Amino acid sequence: MARKHLLSDLAGPRSHGGDADTSAQENITPQYAPRGAIGAVSRSIELLKSQSLTDLDPDLIDAPAVTDRLDEDGEQFEEFARNIRENGQQVPILVRPHPSIEGRYQIAYGRRRLRAVKAAGLQIKAAVRNMTDDELVLAQGQENSARQDLSFIERALYAAELEAKGFQRSVIMSALAVDKSNLSRLIQAATQLPTDIIRGIGAAPKTGRDRWGELAARLGDNGAVAKARVVVSDDEVKALPSDERFARVFEAVAPKKAKKEKVQAQVWQADDGVKAATFRQDKRTLTLMIDKKAAPEFGDYLLSVLPEIYASFKKTKQ
């Protein structure tokens, strides 16, 4: 199939009695028309907005082989679900007939809407289109570019899982709108971290690549992965927003600071028996402490002759 026609089969006949349940984006006139696979998906989704929809039983809709988003923080989802209950579903989801189970469907995008509508005990408004695996992935990517961006770790995990499922890198790059080098970085970031720990932490939208990279390095220490799993399984931590869950794990696997060896102080005793000073030394410093009680004026005298002592020391080095 030629790439410019990649999603041409998504467009069905227009319905004159189209559903009014569309996004505000349909009133925006694009300044340019994207080309290639993403352009094809963009045009296809615009067509979906003008077509009639189908009410489906949410229990008949399954997740695709690879999902693009991690589970949302509880409070955020509850607010979204409340809005669905009070105002109804405003934007349809996109599904395809299940490729291997007759009578069931697979979602392309709208998992959060599906979850909220299912919780409300309602039927879900969906557009049903025949799509290949590649087309489904590209549809997810185009939808995400029009809505809230995936967090860094969501993009990384999605890219790694797509590649593990056998998708071509050209398809993954189009879905995530990244070039070859950035895709490699995303996949590397995800494969350096245990998937269960990523999912236990969640999307962490405020946490960028560098912090995830540092976490991967910390998890390389002995026992660190086990510590991280204990943290993400704690009920108190599970109730936190995902960025705070990340912070808890990050702190729990921080390398222990090496304890400085305490060097015992030694007493310096003069020929007359007076214990005038104590000193302590290591590889970097020599600390001399004058006992002003035992030798009241010795400290002042030592400071006054210190330049002379140092000059004499320099002569020994010549």
* Domains delineated in the chain: 1-148 (3.90.1530.10), 179-251 (no CATH), 275-313 (no CATH)
pLDDT digits (tens, 9 = 90+) for 203-237: 898 999 999 999 999 999 889 999 999 999 999 99
* 168, 223 contact by CB (below 8 A): no
- Report how far residue 35's alpha carbon sits from residue 33's, in angstroms, rounded to the nearest whole number: 6
Joined together, the tokens standing for residue 105 give 């469907």
What type of residue sits at position 198?
A: I
Give the span between the Cα atoms of 247 and 85, in whole angstroms.
33
Length of the chain in terms of residues written: 318
Model confidence pLDDT, tens digit, residues 75-97? 667 777 887 888 788 778 899 99
Could you tell me if 13 and 134 are in contact, meaning their C-beta atoms sit under 8 angstroms apart? no
Neighbours of 63 (CB within 10 A): 10
Q: Over the stretch 144-200, which tens digit does the pLDDT of each residue have?
A: 655 556 789 988 998 898 898 888 998 888 878 788 999 999 999 999 999 999 999
Token duo for residue 145: 């570019």
Instruction: Quote the longest CA-to-CA distance of the chain.
Output: 112
Helix (H), strand (E) counts: the chain: 13, 8
pLDDT score of 98: 93
Burial of 94 per CB tally in 10 Å (0-12, 13-18, 19+): buried
Cα 1 vs. chain centroid, distance in angstroms? 35
Residues 133, 137, 138, CA angle at the centre, nearest 5°?
115
CA distance 261 to 92: 65
Q: For 228-237, how does the pLDDT look when each residue is reduced to its tens digit (9 = 90+)? A: 999 999 999 9
Model-level pTM? Answer: 0.50
> What is the average per-residue pLDDT within 268-295?
86
Give dist(CA 77, CA 80) in Å, integer: 5
HEC profile of 138-200: HHHHHHHHHCCCCCHHHHHHHHHHHHHCCCCHHHHHHHHCCCHHHHHHHHHHHHCCCHHHHHH
